[in-house]
Structure 1
Amino acid sequence: VRQHLQLVEQRREVEQCPLLTDVANLWFRNHEADLPTWSSFKASFADVFGRPAVRKLRAEQRLRARAQLPAETFTSYIEDVVDLCKRVNPSMPETDKVNNILKGIADDAFQMLLAKNPTSVSAVIELRQSFDELRKQRVSTRQSGAPT
């Protein structure tokens, strides 16, 4: 009975994996039947996700495909790209980080940033903030009925 209760408890621990997100969650759902105990889950999970080469490869794939989503703020997008850059290469040159940001940023921001040619992530952020402020002023001017 004690052994059965231990197995039930271990199974409950495995089933309580809602903290897994993205690929890890998908992997768990695909292999849940093969993971009857907490120990088997931990071993399999570490085998798949614990290897640095695998983590780096996944970060490279995400970075290549990363584009700013329509409702995503520029801050969220930029910070995610910078995080992916660090995962791919902790000593990635600043120019490469900027290029990775530019390749997926929203079209209106891309055009403005292309003209300004920023050379650092902080310059991208500063230019984008200025751009947003100018756009807000323009929208509020148009809404107040002032001629354009």
Structure 2
Amino acid sequence: MSRRAIWLMATDESDNHEILEIVRGKLIRSAGIWFDNNEPNFKKWSDFEAAFRNRYFSTTSTHKKFDTLKQRKQLPDEPITSYFDDIINLC
């Protein structure tokens, strides 16, 4: 089933249980365990979506920022204030 089909079905609350079962079948390893542990909290698709985004997308963003921060060096002609502001934004 395509992502679009899942999203379209998720907009109809009568199909929430079926959608969540489909999603559970797609999750593997730690994501599947996380789903199983939190499934009672998912009364509807939006409950799952918010929890999933909070759990997985925020950490992905944090890792990307940290990797960028580790690689960041002041450029030869870059003002210290620009470099400093960029470092602060990455923290």
Structure 1 length-normalised TM: 0.34
Q: Select the structure of larger CA radius of gyration.
A: 1
Higher relative contact order (CA 8 A, sep 6+): 2
Structure 2 length-normalised TM: 0.48
Higher helix fraction: Structure 1 or Structure 2? 2
